[in-house]
Structure 1
Amino acid sequence: MTTPRLASLLLLSTTILTPSLAWAQDSTTSTTATDAASPQDGADEGQAPDISVPGGAIIVTGQRSRNVMRTAPQVISVLSSEEIARTGEGDIAGALGRVTGLSVVGNGYVYVRGLGDRYSLALLNGSPLPSPEPLKRVVPLDLFPTSIVASSLVQKSYSANFPGEFGGGVINLTTKAIPEESFLEFGGGLGWDTETTNKLGYTYYGSKTDWTGWDNGNRSVPSALQAYFNSNEVINPTSDLAKELGGQLVTSRNAVVQKDDHVQPNWSADISAGTRFDLGGATLGVIAAAGYSNKTQTKQITQQRAQGVTADPDQLFENFTAVNTDNRVVANALVGMGLEWGENSIRWTNVYIHDTDKHTGLRLGKRENNPNADYMEQTTAWYERQLIDTQLVGEFKPADDTTIDLRAGYANSKRLAPFEINAEYLRTNTAADPYGEYFVNRLGNGNQDPTTITFSRLNENVWSAGADLSHQFAPGWTGTVGYAYQINSRTNTRRSFAIYANGDQTQISNFGLLRLDVLLQPGTWYLADNGVNYGLELREPDASTAQFDSRLLNHAFYGKLDGQLTDALSFDFGLRWEYAKESTILRPIGAAPSKATDLKNEYILPALTLTYEVQPGMQVRASASKTLARPQFRELLYQPYFDPDSNRTYQGNPFLEDSQLYNAEARWEWYFAPDQRIAVGGFFKRIDNPIESFLTGSESFITSYANAPKANLYGAEVEFQKYVPLDSWGGLFETRRLLLLGNYTFTKSELKVKDGDTVRIYGAGTGTSLATDYFTNGAPLTGQSKHIANTQIGFEDTESLSQQTILFNYASKRAVSRGLANSGQPDIFEYPGLTIDLVIRQGIKLSEDKQIELKFEGRNLTGRSHREYQQMEDGKVNYNTYDQGRVFTLSASAKF
């Protein structure tokens, strides 16, 4: 069955200034005495971006400072709100894809230096967030709208103030601050997708309020079904209860696929406002925002699966073409308040996000086990996600040389997917079959799958807290100590029903011609009462794996010292102690819970960075550290789990262990003018026990996980930013300049697997298995592109808003999944290739404090397709390949 990649959730927030040391203050040790005298000093570089991180501050909000990347004690990349706006991206994942060494994989998962999402840590204002994804603990970053992000910091070298789950790096998003002055801003936009808009797509009724992103109650779980869920019992397939429930599952509103000959354009609207109140000795700031977007995408997908090492279409396990239409609606709201007095502040931020994806799909193709027949599958689904986040931060300065920072946060994420319906129809194409020329739904008979109806629910809570104390005990020397607490609690439930017909085959074929809602109406469940042998059964085949609970508890203490050894040489050294207990427990329906899978570990994680200033504006860094990566919750459960988003079955491995990473890098940087730089660096990582996926099974392929023995990753990166004044051209160019920005990252990773190495695979015997049966020596880590490059070429006005930017992005092929274990199959690769975008922004000034901004965006101008494939010797197997449209968007906003 084909189900969509889950559409993403939009996240909105305001700035919380979490514990901070100010890099721009005298207490900072990462600047040298000669900096202030440097003519290339970035003090002229304008207002520094707001950056909020845990455990020791990075920058004083709003202070005019030198280049943050230069003054930071670690290797970082920063996107300010202006740089984000220049990209024109609607979500922060897209903007981060322009940063050196970063690539976006799947639905908003950002890979840092080729390491997968399990090795990347994402924070909001320094605080952790829950994930609404059943198979992941990390948050997809396409949830975050760029419109409310003040800055995005990517730190690539580890420091002890960050959590130890820091493989490739940390991505910290800082939301916009309490305003300096009152404002009101509103806007809207229209978009056109050349592969979707005004073309054929598919939909189903659902409810009349679906366009809002909220269901009007049509998808509420019927009371009898909810009572069954609460009973913790497994249904008898032929019982009266089964008949009662079966007649309530499929209706004309949730199961009838309809053509939409003219799919609507994309559109969006948003509004935000803020103000400040002078309370005498204090200032109270308030900010509020709301947004709405409605986007539709239709994809015609080639979906092939190989069973051997050939791409011959006649020997494929399956060969399908699918057409999926996804209507994604995102609504968000935010309220933030801040109280500031002197150098002290308290900030409270509250976020509500609601994201839905209304999915409709049809799939037509052939299978190896019945090569003459045609199979058609239909899917209707409603994926609803919600995130609530509240954060409270207090920042206090009891003395000139001492700061105390306190923070606490609560976040909740939910994912609901009621009435996810999949039905399969078969056309035998044989003359002996009286129904051979028709598509018939035989409900699990005659090489057909049953019709399934699935209800899934995920709920995760994250509580976090922290305290930090920083003290400057001598000029150029600052010490910081801190404590951090975090607990994640998740419940994931998936109740899936399969409908079979076990009666007379002629009756089954006769009824199988009916529309799905007519076929499974309440009356057909009671045909036996009228002497008709149809024999409907309602089964719950996955009751033994329907629910699991997970928990992660983390305590951490750290100490950190920043020192100026000489005028040119500074260091940042820290130690972090972490205790973590990760547990996952399966709760089968109608049976006792399984024994919990527990991982309990303590770590000491050191980090050291040295910075040497060669000359004013030019410096060299070197760093070394130890970090770790933990298994995802679902990866620890052995019981199979079907993920409708990827259309794959997963099976965890209770023998998984934490991965440990040993990191080193060196970097040369030259800041030759304000906002201009060139940097060259190299990096190396050794990973012990990296967690890698592999594919196993025969006709039912299953993705599972194991700790490979070792892996190495190394590479180099270069970045360049230069402004060329055009005032010498005169006339229209008197206030304009040319932007030249580019970066390139080379990364190579290799699994280290030698003869005699072993792995532990649950269910593969009581001992160990040969690692070479599952992993190939020298194979790259999944998700890693060898080459990533970005270029921006643009014109902009230095005195008003006027920007014209063309953006190039290239990523070479990367493995997204392993080939079938012990089959000789190659890995499955994705090839993002080259994409070209154009963004034009133009401001129209109405008065001194009133302006209208017009924006035009052209995305994927070359029409680059999405390509996922296996390269066999005799050709390609297209695993998940489809055309992507060129997307053109016009928007306008007004600010008062």
Structure 2
Amino acid sequence: MNKFQITWVAVCAVFLMISSAVAQSSGGIRGIVYDEDFESPLAKAEVTVAETGRNVAATEEGNYVISGLEPGPYTLIVSKEGYTRKVFANVVVPAGCMVDQDASLSGEFTDMEEFVVQDLNMGGASEEGLLNLRMEAPALMDAVGSDLMSQAGASDAAQALTLVPGTTIQDGKYAVVRGLPDRYVSSQMNGVRLPSADPDKRAVQLDQFPSAMIESVQVAKTFTPDQQGDASGGAVNIILKGIPEKRVLEFRVGTKYKTNVGDAGDQFLKDKGTSISAWGHDAGSIQPQDINAQWTGALGVSRGDSPSMYDWSVTAGDKFQIGPDLRVGFIGSVFYKKEASYYEGRDDEYWLDRNYNRSTLVPYFSGGGAYMDYRGEVVPNWRSEGNTSLFDIQKGTEELQWGTLGAVGAETENHELTLLYSYNFSAENTAQLDEDTRGKYYYFPDYDPKDPTSPGGADSDWPRPGRDYSQFAPFRRTEGLEYKERIASSLQLRGKHTLPSGDYRLGSVLTIKEPEFDWTVAKSKSIIDTPDRRTLSTYWLVDENGDPSHKVESGEGGIAELQRNWRKVEEVSDQYFYNMKLPFEAWNGDDGFLKVGAFNDQVDRKYDENTYYTTQTLSYDADWDVLWNEHYSSLSLDMEDYPLDVNYDGKQNVSAWYYMAEIPVFSFFKLMGGARFEKTDISTTMRDVDPDAKLYIPKYNYSSVNFAGNEGDANASVKQNDVLPALGFEFTPHEKITVRGSYTETIARMTFKELAPIQQVEEIGDDIFVGNPDLGLSSLKNYDLRFDYNPYPGGLISLSWFYKKIKDPIDYRQQLLAGSILATTADNYSEGQINGYEIEVRQSMGEWWDLLDGLSVGGNLTYIQSELDASGKEIKDLFDAGLADVVAAEYDGTIRDMMGTPEYLYNLNATYTVPKFGTELGLFYTVKGDALKTAGTQDGGYYFPHVYEKEYATLNFSLSQKLWERWKLGFKVKNLLNPEVQDVYRSKYTGQDMVKNSYKKGVEFSISLGCEF
């Protein structure tokens, strides 16, 4: 461990020792309040110490704690409206100790009244309830509830995950658990695996689930056989709000201000050709290009006023008693949000020039190296044409999001049935302006655009007389417009049943209890529709007469300069699963269970793409700062159909059955084990493709061949059966201490895109991606060990170790197509591994000192070491390019970091609650360490170093104030520190970090007002 981790652990140790010393000076009373008639926890009961007048309210789980009491006897009064009050006299509190005092209250009702405590709630929102769930779950689990999400200002499921130890978000959307990215993480909603219309991934975009609909986000970090087989890093389960315990009507409205958006003012980038209406633009109304007609639509970005931002939500629910043994309930929720974002940053490309000055990274130069001595001396073969890629970025996005959640349910004493439907819609309208002027000034610091005779001009005498250097690193501009809609919907029917067979005594060894059966049938859909994405690339020149001109010329097919693209990805999932649980009481009086079940998920994907371009040469004479749309209000352009569009159908069927058991060998020791038998069948089938197009890329040939005659070869299919064992234990040497350990085996699958052996381009300007039909599934062996100390309800000290060994991990590398075009491809590497540690502390300061009652602090640290054996094509290609000395410096033999795995993560938080005044305060600090984003590669012998995402921190503050009885005012500030988010080229060979991407997110202020009836 480095100095940082050692210091962090030392601080935690001192923290714990001080807490133990202080806690010894005073004591307290704790316990659980029960409903005597139904033997269930009683929420919100009031517990009062008569001698001091102090009182607390029990949690939703009936727990209460009164700390900071001087040693001596006390009188305890427990009461709740509708119940008979109880008084406990002479409750003696020893010095430095907590004394337990449970209470059972009987209801005040007549024989004619009906009294019901059962509810149809599908999860828990309080942190204490989730902590209890964590302690009881067979898998290692962490969770965050809606209470903490609200305090931390988490607006969606993706932001909520950053509060979970060892969990981060990739690209703002995808879950990364313990350093394993989305491929190794199962994303679910109420236990149902959701489909994904993401063109690149099978992962669910978690930012589309707003916090207004979420009760909790639970992360199981170890595999158990009742989970899906690809939950290697973890299973993220979004628990939606369930049918409430009592009648509820909630309304909330809010608005926000972002510094980046506000500072943009009337210079906010927009698309004047497309706008988002109140409920979203109808993407289906935008028709594909008619190649027999000219295009007269908007080109390029425009500027306008910054958009307003606001949100609101409404939730209503209730439950009713119908007959002597039937209860029904419902919940409905609607949310609406309008957002905006704006940032200015940079996106640069650097490489190691193989021909000259290999001691430093220099700007990437298209078409070969810019062979110039950076001390000013001219190299004889120095080029006079070519482009750099040192772009200054401006990006404005307007976003609309709305959705609805509805559920109805019915239950009796032994049966429960719930029907749930959720629908989420989001629309994003993005305008992006990229400008490269720094490339020119890098090579010609004295360049003057208004003077053609200045160095780098069209009529310059330097560095070589008689040459036109105007096209050497010219000013360049790329303007992109994109409108995107995302839709996610799910219809779920769930049942839970207890078979009233009575207990059955099996000799003197076991007592078989009533079997429990649950099942789910779900149909889910995910759509991403991107109609008419437009990209315009131009360059600006000044001739020898000083006349400036913007130009767009056709490159290779014109595809890089002016392009329109339609793409729609639709994915549908039909899923069912059922579980049968047989509880039993063992020989020692402890409970265990035997569980079996089956699972099936059929996913169908449809991918459609249409691309159009022009070969016309366009230009206009104007100064550099005149944008295309400021000169041309409209154009009439002839468009042509791009013959290399990708259209395919994908199918994935995963079916499984499993068995598992939990056996209480001793009262303090449990064994858990079982196995999952899972079958995988994935395929992609090309369709609607021009037979004369050169699309099909045979493996390791990397030279396109005609699609005609190779249709079958261009399709891909993978089938595999797996047996996935799991074995674990739970050791409880003390009622407050739990030690868990497990060994499990899991798998990781490829995506549809990674299988298709064709050329694909995700974003304009991105490298070409080529799939690999010979990809195989990855297999993992997982080892986990965790120590939990739960000193009191809500308190926690936890230490964890985890190790994952991966065989045939799937990762990306670069490859030259036809020896000239750089492309990305997926491949199975030989092996990888992840080794990590987690430390987590939660402490109620009121346990130390009663004056600090209501103040809670917590923190967690995850330290991760990852390795990937890059021997094979990645290392070989670098050697073949003459970069053996670079490989020796950049790699530890053949080992590099795994992509997306941060070196460390830590969170610190403090919350302060004053029930008397209805005030809640929260402060949340999160740090994510450096993580490899892109592995190093080469292009024609020029080396691009590894790209790392650098460490950055976020600090959020929240304030909630209760107004009168039913109203609540909220104020939040997110990203207070506003750090610079950077990606850097990191080269051990040159010993330098060079900034690749850089931007600031800005500070966000929000205020809200809510009420509950």
- Per the alignment, residue 242 of structure 1 pairs with 291
- Per the alignment, residue 66 of structure 2 pairs with none
CA 373–518 in structure 1, closer or farther in 2 if over 3 Å, else same: closer
- Per the alignment, residue 718 of structure 1 pairs with 839
Distance 1:193 1:419 in 2: 29
- Per the alignment, residue 268 of structure 1 pairs with 311
Q: Which amino acid in structure 2 is aligned with residue 479 of structure 1?
A: L
1:277 aligns with 2:320: yes
3-state secondary structure, aligned to 2:228:
coil
Distance 1:379 1:63 in 2: 48
CA 60–484 in structure 1, closer or farther in 2 if over 3 Å, else same: farther
Distance 1:373 1:64 in 2: 62
1:333 aligns with 2:404: yes
Q: Deviations over 1:570-592 (max 9, x none)?
A: 12111100011011122252336
Distance 2:726 2:177 in 1: 19
* Aligned-residue offset at 1:218: 9.2
Partners of 1:375 and 1:425 within 8 A in 2 = yes
Which of 578, 589, 595 is equivalent to 2:678? 578
Partners of 1:40 and 1:674 within 8 A in 2 = no
Q: Which amino acid in structure 1 is aligned with residue 409 of structure 2?
A: G
- Per the alignment, residue 220 of structure 2 pairs with 155
* Aligned-residue offset at 1:468: 1.2
* Aligned-residue offset at 1:61: 12
3-state secondary structure, aligned to 1:188:
strand
CA 874–623 in structure 1, closer or farther in 2 if over 3 Å, else same: closer
Distance 2:917 2:770 in 1: 56
Q: Which amino acid in structure 2 is aligned with residue 607 of structure 1?
A: A
1:803 aligns with 2:853: no
Bigger relative contact order, structure 1 or 2 (CA pairs below 8 A, ≥6 apart): 1
3-state secondary structure, aligned to 1:625:
strand
Bigger Cα displacement from structure 2, 860-869 vs 677-686: 860-869
3-state secondary structure, aligned to 2:614:
strand
Partners of 1:119 and 1:169 within 8 A in 2 = yes
- Per the alignment, residue 220 of structure 1 pairs with 286
Q: Deviations over 1:731-781 (max 9, x none)?
A: xx7xx4211100001110011356xx578999x99xxxxxx9998733111
- Per the alignment, residue 436 of structure 2 pairs with 365
1:709 aligns with 2:830: yes
- Per the alignment, residue 527 of structure 2 pairs with 414
Q: Deviations over 1:840-884 (max 9, x none)?
A: 1222232xxxx2121111111111122112134375443321122
Distance 2:215 2:124 in 1: 13
Name the count of aligned residue pairs.
794
Q: Which amino acid in structure 2 is aligned with residue 189 of structure 1?
A: G
Which of 456, 475, 491 is equivalent to 1:374? 475
- Per the alignment, residue 174 of structure 2 pairs with 109
Partners of 1:276 and 1:284 within 8 A in 2 = yes
- Per the alignment, residue 395 of structure 1 pairs with 496
Q: Which amino acid in structure 2 is aligned with residue 560 of structure 1?
A: M
Q: How does 1:688-699 map to 2 (within 5 A)?
A: 688-697=807-816
CA 729–66 in structure 1, closer or farther in 2 if over 3 Å, else same: closer
CA 201–594 in structure 1, closer or farther in 2 if over 3 Å, else same: farther
Bigger Cα displacement from structure 2, 338-347 vs 600-609: 338-347
- Per the alignment, residue 636 of structure 1 pairs with 755
Return 5+ residue gaps in structure 2 as ranges.
1-39, 42-96, 104-116, 354-359, 367-387, 441-468, 503-513, 692-707, 881-886
* Aligned-residue offset at 1:338: 0.8
1:613 aligns with 2:714: no
Distance 2:942 2:118 in 1: 55
Q: How does 1:478-627 map to 2 (within 5 A)?
A: 478-501=593-616, 524=636, 536=638, 538-543=640-645, 546-591=646-691, 593-595=711-713, 596-627=715-746
* Aligned-residue offset at 1:361: 1.4
* Aligned-residue offset at 1:452: 0.2
- Per the alignment, residue 234 of structure 1 pairs with none
* Aligned-residue offset at 1:654: 1.5
Which of 789, 813, 827 is equivalent to 2:906? 789
* Aligned-residue offset at 1:671: 0.5
CA 874–143 in structure 1, closer or farther in 2 if over 3 Å, else same: same
Normalising by structure 1, what TM-score? 0.82
Distance 2:125 2:343 in 1: 46
- Per the alignment, residue 679 of structure 1 pairs with 798
- Per the alignment, residue 302 of structure 1 pairs with 346
CA 647–893 in structure 1, closer or farther in 2 if over 3 Å, else same: farther
Which of 193, 197, 204 is equivalent to 2:262? 197
Q: Which amino acid in structure 2 is aligned with residue 384 of structure 1?
A: E
3-state secondary structure, aligned to 1:69:
helix
* Aligned-residue offset at 1:343: 3.0
- Per the alignment, residue 237 of structure 1 pairs with none
Distance 2:270 2:125 in 1: 50
Q: Which amino acid in structure 1 is aligned with residue 493 of structure 2?
A: L
Partners of 2:196 and 2:526 within 8 A in 1 = yes
* Aligned-residue offset at 1:283: 1.5
Q: Deviations over 1:267-324 (max 9, x none)?
A: 1111111122322131221111111111111121211112436433485841111211
Which of 326, 333, 337 is equivalent to 1:289? 333
1:465 aligns with 2:532: no
Identity of aligned residues (%): 19
- Per the alignment, residue 192 of structure 2 pairs with 127
Distance 2:345 2:640 in 1: 32
Q: How does 1:245-256 map to 2 (within 5 A)?
A: 247-248=294-295, 250-252=296-298, 255=299
CA 448–365 in structure 1, closer or farther in 2 if over 3 Å, else same: farther
Distance 1:484 1:40 in 2: 47
Return 5+ residue gaps in structure 1 as ranges.
1-23, 26-37, 53-57, 226-240, 526-535, 766-771
Q: Which amino acid in structure 1 is aligned with residue 763 of structure 2?
A: P
* Aligned-residue offset at 1:195: 1.2
Q: Deviations over 1:717-741 (max 9, x none)?
A: 11000001189666xx7xx421110
Q: Which amino acid in structure 2 is aligned with residue 289 of structure 1?
A: S
CA 569–726 in structure 1, closer or farther in 2 if over 3 Å, else same: closer
- Per the alignment, residue 231 of structure 2 pairs with 166
Distance 2:134 2:308 in 1: 40
Q: How does 1:72-87 map to 2 (within 5 A)?
A: 72-87=137-152
- Per the alignment, residue 453 of structure 1 pairs with 564
Normalising by structure 2, what TM-score? 0.73
3-state secondary structure, aligned to 1:643:
coil
Partners of 1:277 and 1:284 within 8 A in 2 = yes
Distance 2:998 2:648 in 1: 33
Partners of 2:125 and 2:147 within 8 A in 1 = no
Q: Deviations over 1:449-470 (max 9, x none)?
A: 4310001011100000011111
3-state secondary structure, aligned to 1:565:
strand
3-state secondary structure, aligned to 2:944:
coil
Distance 1:135 1:672 in 2: 45
Q: Which amino acid in structure 2 is aligned with residue 497 of structure 1?
A: Y
- Per the alignment, residue 852 of structure 1 pairs with 967
Partners of 2:559 and 2:613 within 8 A in 1 = no
CA 537–214 in structure 1, closer or farther in 2 if over 3 Å, else same: closer
Which of 962, 973, 982 is equivalent to 1:843? 962
- Per the alignment, residue 236 of structure 1 pairs with none
3-state secondary structure, aligned to 2:791:
strand
3-state secondary structure, aligned to 1:167:
coil
Partners of 1:495 and 1:542 within 8 A in 2 = no
State the superposition RMSD in angstroms.
3.5
- Per the alignment, residue 983 of structure 2 pairs with 868
Distance 1:727 1:606 in 2: 45
Q: Which amino acid in structure 1 is aligned with residue 923 of structure 2?
A: I
Partners of 1:50 and 1:59 within 8 A in 2 = no
Partners of 2:268 and 2:396 within 8 A in 1 = yes
Partners of 1:841 and 1:855 within 8 A in 2 = yes
Q: Which amino acid in structure 1 is aligned with residue 312 of structure 2?
A: A
* Aligned-residue offset at 1:441: 2.7
